[in-house]
């Protein structure tokens, strides 16, 4: 392997960084806009296992995580298969549903009690249209899309080239916070195996 896992510096995460301090100094061009933009964000607190977007619905909100953990999962014949985990400072929406106004194939749900900030699609589009006019921000956003894409590609490569045990060890090594924080049966489905099988793998490792 040529490189380590990089955090998911996605399109939306990039945006939310803009909204959440980090980019303010990098992009003083938008200085006057911050106050306006920040009114677009709506703070909510939700308990664990709260569904934020149901499979089949059309995603109209993006969520930024201040505190807690979310997961996106896919319904496969009644079973729930975790597709992605999201943690503090990450932003999540069902990207294809959000962008193309089609039904989402994932359900987005809280794993822990969370503090979230959501923004509506229409407000986000408004900000985007302004931000895209600024070359540095545009470049940064495009970079963000590519990074997100490369991360997903790596996850796909991992499925193609590694067996479940290798994938588990890779996860422990590269993203240990997931293993420490998330119930094991969610991790099992994320790795493409059953909870029973993951338990056996863990047993064989230690």
- 19 near DNA, judged by CB under 7 A: no
- The residue among 145 and 195 lying less far from DNA, judged by its C-beta, is 195
By CB under 8 A, what part of segment 110-139 binds a copy of itself? 132, 138
What gap in Å lies between CA 45 and CA 67, rounded to an integer? 9
- 44 near a copy of itself, judged by CB under 8 A: no
- 81 near a copy of itself, judged by CB under 8 A: yes
What gap in Å lies between CA 58 and CA 56, rounded to an integer? 7
Whose tokens are 């997903």? That residue is 152
Tell me the window of 42-50, 63-71, 100-108, 112-120 that interacts with a copy of itself (CB under 8 A). Answer: 100-108
State the minimum distance, in angstroms, from the CB of residue 60 to DNA.
28
- The residue among 89 and 200 lying less far from DNA, judged by its C-beta, is 200
Does residue 16 contact residue 91 with C-beta atoms inside 8 Å?
yes
What gap in Å lies between CA 16 and CA 62, rounded to an integer? 9
- Using the rule CB under 8 A, which residue among 83, 89, 115, 174 binds a copy of itself? 83
In 11-30, which positions are buried (b, 16+ CB within 10 angstroms) versus exposed (e)? Answer: bbbbbbbbbbeebeeebeeb
Interface residue list for DNA (CB under 7 A): 163-165, 183-185, 192-203
């Amino acid at each position: 392997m040529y490189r380590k896992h990089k955090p998911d510096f996605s399109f939306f995460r990039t945006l939310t960084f803009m909204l959440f301090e980090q980019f303010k100094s990098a992009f003083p061009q938008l200085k006057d806009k911050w106050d306006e933009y920040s009114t677009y964000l709506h703070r909510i607190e939700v308990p664990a296992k709260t569904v934020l977007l149901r499979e089949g619905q059309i995603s109209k909100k993006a969520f930024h995580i201040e505190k807690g953990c979310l997961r996106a999962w896919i319904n496969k014949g009644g079973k729930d298969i975790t597709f992605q985990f999201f943690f503090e400072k990450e932003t999540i929406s069902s990207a294809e549903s959000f962008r193309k106004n089609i039904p989402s194939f994932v359900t987005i749900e809280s794993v822990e009690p969370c503090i979230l900030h959501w923004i509506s699609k229409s407000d986000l589009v408004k900000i985007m249209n302004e931000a895209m006019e600024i070359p540095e921000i545009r470049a940064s956003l495009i970079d963000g899309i590519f990074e997100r894409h490369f991360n997903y590609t790596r996850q796909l490569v991992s499925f193609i080239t590694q067996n479940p045990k290798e994938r588990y060890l890779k996860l422990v090594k590269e993203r240990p916070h997931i293993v420490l924080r998330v119930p094991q049966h969610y991790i099992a489905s994320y790795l493409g195996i059953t909870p029973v099988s993951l338990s056996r793998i863990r047993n064989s490792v230690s």
